[in-house]
Amino acid sequence: MINEKRNHHFVSQAEQRLNAIDSSVSKKNQRIYAFSITDRENYQISLETPTGTKIKETLSFDDLFTIDILDDRLRVNLEDFFSSYEQDVSILTQSLLLKLKSGNQDLKTEILNIFAMKLINSFRNPFCIEKTLNTIGNLANYSPSDEKLKDIYKKIDSGNQASIKEFANNFSVTEEQYRKWMKSLFMLLVPKDTQGINLVDMMIKEFFENTDQFINVYVHIYSGVEEGKHSLLSDRGFTLLTDLEAHLAYEFNLTCNAFISYIFTDIKKAGVNQLGEDVMKSILRMQSKKPSELKIHFCENNLEILSRYNKNVVYQSYENVYCKSKVVYGL
């Protein structure tokens, strides 16, 4: 965990580059248009600068995931654990879109790995600390069994973290909440079982192998439409379409021309009122004998849904949204 990485992105540069104004220029010079949310109720935004902002400096903070600053150069941080998930995001995204366009239905690898990376993004987003603690905060009540990891873990409380008070103020949380968030991320990503699997991988496995639910994935692609029909990227990295007891639906930006919706439906909770408990028990018995059902839907150039998606991104983002174009469709 010791490296020289200081500028920590909470929405990866790779994801931002898939929305870049000009993807043909060198990576260090790529830019994206940033907008401030001025009235979320009426979906009003304001362009921050007409030339865009540099991706290498956007959606990041220095030492955000640092556990201990060792000297002017070296620090102990979680960056490489995030990088292990985000390093293939461009390849996976492009593979998913190409397969869909060619009619190839062998998509499980892309669907699962993209979801894993996007879910981790939601957990590591500092604008979502309270939500993350509500979801995985109990992990902070545990510590690694490995003694070397335990010594590093303790540094979250005792290490040299010069910016922690500033971070807590910036993200409207207490220092205790910030440290609890860091502990939760550590326990989610770092300790592994004897098979080399960490908790986030177990969580993804549970999401997609739970036999008590149906999963629908919708991939919306916009191609061959006039310029400016682009999907927004949230500073939170995700939006929720629904967050109900029976339905949980995440939406994520894929590229400037695509976004994806994951809808998890609890069979029992969604159907017991309509079908009755005996019928639901019968359905669940049959469902338990097979893997969770995953259906993938490909939707192209539905501008009504693009408008709905972009409005939802504006409404749910913390303070900024990002786009390839200066004018955002549907607002």
**Series of mean pLDDT values for 10-residue runs along the chain (331 residues):** 92 94 90 97 96 95 92 92 88 94 91 93 95 95 94 91 85 94 96 91 85 87 79 95 76 96 80 52 51 82 95 96 94 90
Q: For strand 293-300 and strand 213-221, is the pairing parallel, antiparallel, or unpaired?
A: parallel
232 assigned to some structural domain: yes
Residues 204, 208, 213, 217: is their CA dihedral positive or negative?
positive
Give the per-residue pLDDT at 225: 63
Strand, helix or coil for residue 308: helix
197 assigned to some structural domain: no
Return d(Cα 185, Cα 167) in angstroms, integer: 16
286 assigned to some structural domain: yes
24 assigned to some structural domain: no
Range of the domain at 214: 210-320
157 assigned to some structural domain: no
Nearest to 294, CA basis, from 221, 207, 220:
207
167 assigned to some structural domain: no
Task: Outline where 103-249 has alpha helix (H).
Answer: 108-124, 129-136, 147-158, 164-170, 175-189, 199-209
Tell me 292's DSSP state: P
Task: Outline where 5-137 has alpha helix (H).
Answer: 13-17, 79-86, 89-102, 108-124, 129-136
Which tokens in the block code for residue 249?
Answer: 């639906």
Return d(Cα 224, Cα 304) in angstroms, integer: 16
Give the per-residue pLDDT at 280: 47
Residues 100, 87, 185, 53: is their CA dihedral positive or negative?
negative
105 assigned to some structural domain: no
Which tokens in the block code for residue 224?
Answer: 């061959």
Look-up of token digits 């098979």: 195
Return d(Cα 126, Cα 65) in angstroms, integer: 10
Return d(Cα 234, Cα 310) in angstroms, integer: 9
Give the per-residue pLDDT at 141: 95
Q: What's the domain count of the chain? A: 1
Nearest to 232, CA basis, from 304, 302, 310, 318:
310
**CB of 45 within 8 A of CB of 37?**
yes
For the beta carbon of residue 204, count every other beta carbon within 10 angstroms. 17
86 assigned to some structural domain: no
Q: What is the longest distance spanned by two Cα atoms in the chain?
A: 66
- Please name every residue paired with 262 in a beta bridge, in sequence order, or none if there are none: 217, 250
Return d(Cα 49, Cα 59) in angstroms, integer: 16
Give the per-residue pLDDT at 289: 47
